[in-house]
Amino acid sequence: MSTLSQEQIATAAEALYQAERARRQIAPLTQSYPDMDMDDAYAVQSAWVQRKAANGDPVIGYKIGLTSRVMQRAMKIDTPDFGVLLESMWFDNNSRIPHGDFTDPRIEVELAFVLKERLFGDNLGIEDVLNATDYVVPALELIAARSYRVDPETGYTRTVMDTIADNAANAGIIVGEQRFKPRDIDLRWSGGILYRNGVIEETGLAAAVLDHPANGICWIAKRFAPHGIALEPGQILLSGSFTAPIIVQPGDDIHADYGPLGDIRCQFT
112-167 pLDDT, tens digit per residue, is 999 999 999 888 999 999 999 999 999 999 999 999 999 999 999 888 899 999 99
Q: What is the mean pLDDT of residues 241-266?
A: 96
Say if residues 110 and 237 touch (Cβ distance below 8 Å). Answer: no
In sequence order, the β-bridge partners of residue 63 are 83, 238
Q: What is the DSSP letter of 158?
A: P
Say if residues 190 and 261 touch (Cβ distance below 8 Å). Answer: yes
35-88 pLDDT, tens digit per residue, is 999 889 999 999 999 999 999 999 999 998 766 655 555 555 556 788 999 999
The model's pTM = 0.92
What value does the mean pLDDT of the chain take? Answer: 92
Q: What is the mean pLDDT of residues 218-224?
A: 88
Q: Which CATH class is domain 58-268?
A: alpha beta
For residues 95 and 174, give the distance between their C-alpha atoms in angstroms, rounded to a whole number.
8
Radius of gyration of the chain (CA): 18
pLDDT at 227: 80
Sequence-ordered strand ranges (E) for 49-185: 59-65, 81-86, 90-92, 95-97, 106-115, 133-143, 170-175
How many Å from the N-terminal Cα to the C-terminal Cα in the chain? 43
Of 38, 104, 32, 99, which is closest to residue 66 (Cα–Cα)?
38
